[in-house]
Structure 1
């Protein structure tokens, strides 16, 4: 695989740029020429794309900037809810004596979340951005209500699927809508601004979670934030609804299809390829779950249930491939996008980053509380130094992109920084190490990951036309979700298979019968003061298992270099002359 130097980058004419940057063509015939011509051909645009372009045609600068501000507020509350939720998760699972299932619960949620965004990309292209936004809020609300009322770990696991899918979908719709109302060179700047709320929620979320846990209970936290999120989101829905109505009155949008409800249901089942979505979701979930559940099976890897899950997972993925090739009228996954090496490299880079991170990050909050005796809030401050650094540096990286247009080489520079931060954790994530060094490692990791993710997301969008941005971002999100699911599966496999063994090994002889109870509840792990034999045994077991997790994660990071090297050396600033066209009032 060769790297294209800046001097070799095809930037001489719009036709040359279009040919190099947009090799993926839709199945329908389009006019030969630049990206601008293709994008403007409304005959090949789906209804949702036409709707958003009609909205940007009829709204004013005031509406544009009001929408930016409201989306920032929605991002703030969504990030705060996510931070509170993540801080409370170990205690929710521990309330059912199932702390070890923390990673297991997230595997299905992450896979389904990634698959749903691909369907959602089709929904918002076919129906509209507003419908996707409202649907996302509905999923989050259902998930939060289920968490607030759950009485067993199974209900909580189902609630996690609803809330996580809704959270991912909401962020996805916001990203797509921002892409609709911005040009390429300004896009990452707005994306970065929408991430700045995390600078506050990094500190506020864990503290709010701690106060709810100590003063009330975790159930009230979920219920309260569901109401707050709905309250700040409704003005966005109102703006979209108002301007869509205005566009219809001006004749910029076609009337309804005239289909009956039954016809509409059948139409959208075909359009969203529901059968393909079920096959691919079931396949990834059934293959990944056994890594975390195997320790509870009566015969380990020889258990019939584990074997059946893996076999059914492989069969489901094979069935998905057969269905897509021979039977599906509308393809669920646009495989032709992956023929572009830049697009493929970008989504694989996102996959590897998420996979390697979640291998060592899945139980990190619990580690900080049990091994170092930190409170819920302080432990998550250290944990969130990762995201804090990423969000703080985001706007500066976006400004760099805006004024230089460079994408590939900054991503290559970021990979060694990411590897350095993760490798240092191997040395410092041991009992007795100072917490400040762990926070330092998180800063290095956050900077490297933040830059890689920004560059890979932008180059994903730069590789397709405007009308394909939603699907491109959905594929990007799918690879990230599957990557995090793989990371959780590896982490869960290491944790559930090794920690009980190490606890039994290190616990005093008269306490070995307490292994199962201590393993399943984080509050029992912290019940004994640091310095007592039982707590020291738990700390030693944590240190041994966590060290193995970080080593595995670090060993896989170099794969990211291969993913980035294959990118074409796209300069998005020069691409701006090709991309700029009449898309209404956009920034």
Structure 2
């Protein structure tokens, strides 16, 4: 269905019915948003009123979801060497990590779309089923293929969790509280990093039990969230049944028509093009083919060209052909949204280009153990602390942009200080740790605040895909930064050593084998260390440039005031008017077909605040 036909079909919805920020919303570009407003999952979100008990229960559920996903990441990483060695597959560790990375990046839009079409309950249940099934397959595995397949299935569920958690928090909370609550429920990301290591070490020789325990916990930890969403889904379906009394019963349509209708609502071609395009672009970089084969290799060029072509065709298909587009491209005409996406890309580029080789750099230049290098890597802990600071600041000031700039300044200062703290043995471990902590806190503040700016700039109907796109930027910017850092590292570092070390020293082993490095003579180790320092300085300068570009992009962020109003919940002028009257008021005098009836009812839903809707229909307050 083309754009003009969409416009005719959606004549019952007017631009004022779906609100975004008044200074940036363009009523001439909202056809795709009005189309998505007719999706069942979106209508459920619009009529759902979250009571205090619901919010507490779903927040507890999200906490436990983060608990199991964080425990999964840490415990499985700990036992992975043992798992792979049992199947003589140690060299395939990179394949698992790369596929995991690509899947988490690529399938996020799919879960956002499932949530819009069917609802949060159905999408979260699917994520739980995939996560649990993956663990079960790994627990029963007797070959590398089984472990690999189970890991892939489990990662699909984990990607669904990561997408839905952010969307649900945005649906249940006022915008000024979202960042602080996200920080609270993300505490397991820090604590379970260490807990997972202990679990993995304790069951290292009986690694099947690790997957078995995770399988059980995946079900148990999902129960609170699924129970809460089940109650809300039932309440929303009751409201929708009362609203759609004039709609033709869709269940009477032939099964094939209903199936094709679901495929059209899911926009399966668009999902395939979007996810496939991103994976094709990220795959050769994630597998570091640019290092192994060089940029001119067909192994690099072919997937990049395929990925770019797929994304270009995706743009055309979504803009011209899709009835329910995955990505409303009019979002990119919102200045704040576009600038936030560009800024976040630069953030993650900076993070990967400056920190990708942190651990080997510390081990070589300071001649310390990998454990000490890990302890000095305080970025993750600092990031979560920064999320708290940024969340509290936005909660009490109801502003986001000023705090985003403070976080950006902290991050830039930390990256600049890296030039000193990574200048060799003249600095202490304490200085390195402090700089890493400042960098982590600054990144947590700015990424959280800019993310809230994204949510403030779009309508409630576009919220899920906006959050998903902002999350995908982490992988796009990250892989660009990773590709940049690896290209510089493998080309510059050897050139810094050529002609300086003794001819008996194997340069390749000196920069790739930590054991070989420690066996070198002291004077040769110093030469290698100087090469590391000079190469790292180049990467740090690239990071500084990335942060400056991010600052330029942040100039486009609008200074929204974060209010308690939910975007898209328009309160009508006559709050006492019955819903049945509102429905009849919107109907044409002649008999309306099922499509126009559905859009007119959607018009009602998007105009009502959930509390008004529940009161008029006698909705439950439990």
The interval holding the TM-score normalised by the smaller chain is 0.7 to 0.9
Q: Following the alignment from structure 1 to structure 2, what is the Cα–Cα distance between the partners of residues 223 and 508?
A: 52
Contact 2:352 2:485 in 1 (8 A): yes
1:240 to 210, 214, 229: 229
1:74 matches 2:65:
yes
1:493 matches 2:487:
yes
* 1:409/1:155 CA distance change after superposition, 3 Å: farther
Q: Following the alignment from structure 2 to structure 1, what is the Cα–Cα distance between the partners of residues 110 and 74?
A: 26
Q: Which residue of structure 1 lines up, in the alignment, with residue 205 of structure 2?
A: 216
1:444 to 438, 441, 450: 438
Partner-residue secondary structure (3-state), 1:232: helix
1:27 to 15, 27, 31: 31
Number of corresponding residues: 547
Structure with more helix by fraction: 1
1:296 to 292, 297, 311: 292
Q: Which residue of structure 1 lines up, in the alignment, with residue 13 of structure 2?
A: none
Kindly report which structure 2 residues correspond to 1:136-535, keeping only aligned pairs within 5 A, or say none: 136-141=127-132, 144=135, 149=141, 163-209=154-200, 211-212=201-202, 215-216=204-205, 221-222=210-211, 224-245=213-234, 248=237, 251=241, 257=251, 262-291=256-285, 292-297=288-293, 300-368=294-362, 378-383=372-377, 385-429=378-422, 432=425, 433-495=427-489, 512=506, 515=509, 519=512, 525-526=514-515
Deviation at 1:429, TM superposition (A): 3.2
Deviation at 1:124, TM superposition (A): 0.4
1:554 matches 2:558:
no
User: 1:153-198: per-residue Cα shift (whole Å, max 9, x none)?
Assistant: x988877665555334312211211222112222222222122333
1:120 to 99, 106, 111: 111
Q: What is the TM-score when the length of structure 2 is the normalising length? A: 0.74
Deviation at 1:318, TM superposition (A): 3.1
Q: Following the alignment from structure 1 to structure 2, what is the Cα–Cα distance between the partners of residues 190 and 88?
A: 32
Q: Which has the higher contact order (CA 8 A, sep 6+)?
A: 1
Q: Following the alignment from structure 1 to structure 2, what is the Cα–Cα distance between the partners of residues 476 and 501?
A: 38
User: 1:205-258: per-residue Cα shift (whole Å, max 9, x none)?
Assistant: 45555x258x53766545543432332112321332244335546756868745
Of 527-536 and 185-194, more deviation after overlay is shown by 527-536
* 1:513/1:43 CA distance change after superposition, 3 Å: closer
Partner-residue secondary structure (3-state), 2:461: helix
Of 17-26 and 74-83, more deviation after overlay is shown by 17-26
Of 163-172 and 340-349, more deviation after overlay is shown by 163-172
* 1:502/1:205 CA distance change after superposition, 3 Å: farther
* 1:246/1:436 CA distance change after superposition, 3 Å: same
* 1:313/1:249 CA distance change after superposition, 3 Å: closer
Partner-residue secondary structure (3-state), 1:301: coil
Contact 1:45 1:467 in 2 (8 A): no
Deviation at 1:515, TM superposition (A): 3.6
Partner-residue secondary structure (3-state), 1:240: helix
Instruction: State the superposition RMSD in angstroms.
Output: 4.3
* 1:92/1:282 CA distance change after superposition, 3 Å: farther
Of 502-511 and 130-139, more deviation after overlay is shown by 502-511
Partner-residue secondary structure (3-state), 2:30: coil
Deviation at 1:348, TM superposition (A): 1.9
Contact 1:106 1:488 in 2 (8 A): no
* 1:554/1:229 CA distance change after superposition, 3 Å: farther
Contact 2:121 2:233 in 1 (8 A): no
Structure 1's unaligned 5+ residue stretches are 1-14, 31-41
Q: Following the alignment from structure 1 to structure 2, what is the Cα–Cα distance between the partners of residues 392 and 583?
A: 34
* 1:439/1:207 CA distance change after superposition, 3 Å: farther
Q: Which residue of structure 2 lines up, in the alignment, with residue 563 of structure 1?
A: 553
User: 1:75-120: per-residue Cα shift (whole Å, max 9, x none)?
Assistant: 2332333344566779989985659x85x86666545434422232
Q: Which residue of structure 2 lines up, in the alignment, with residue 49 of structure 1?
A: 42
Contact 2:183 2:391 in 1 (8 A): yes
Q: Following the alignment from structure 1 to structure 2, what is the Cα–Cα distance between the partners of residues 562 and 458?
A: 18
* 1:577/1:558 CA distance change after superposition, 3 Å: closer
Q: Following the alignment from structure 2 to structure 1, what is the Cα–Cα distance between the partners of residues 482 and 134?
A: 21
Q: Following the alignment from structure 1 to structure 2, what is the Cα–Cα distance between the partners of residues 436 and 126?
A: 51
Structure 2's unaligned 5+ residue stretches are 1-17, 572-608, 612-619
Q: Following the alignment from structure 2 to structure 1, what is the Cα–Cα distance between the partners of residues 187 and 494?
A: 40
Of 506-515 and 261-270, more deviation after overlay is shown by 506-515
* 1:252/1:396 CA distance change after superposition, 3 Å: farther
Q: Following the alignment from structure 1 to structure 2, what is the Cα–Cα distance between the partners of residues 542 and 486?
A: 21
Q: Following the alignment from structure 2 to structure 1, what is the Cα–Cα distance between the partners of residues 84 and 489?
A: 15
* 1:413/1:267 CA distance change after superposition, 3 Å: same
Contact 2:390 2:446 in 1 (8 A): no
Q: Following the alignment from structure 1 to structure 2, what is the Cα–Cα distance between the partners of residues 120 and 484?
A: 21
Q: Following the alignment from structure 2 to structure 1, what is the Cα–Cα distance between the partners of residues 176 and 338?
A: 21
Deviation at 1:29, TM superposition (A): 9.4
Deviation at 1:541, TM superposition (A): 6.5
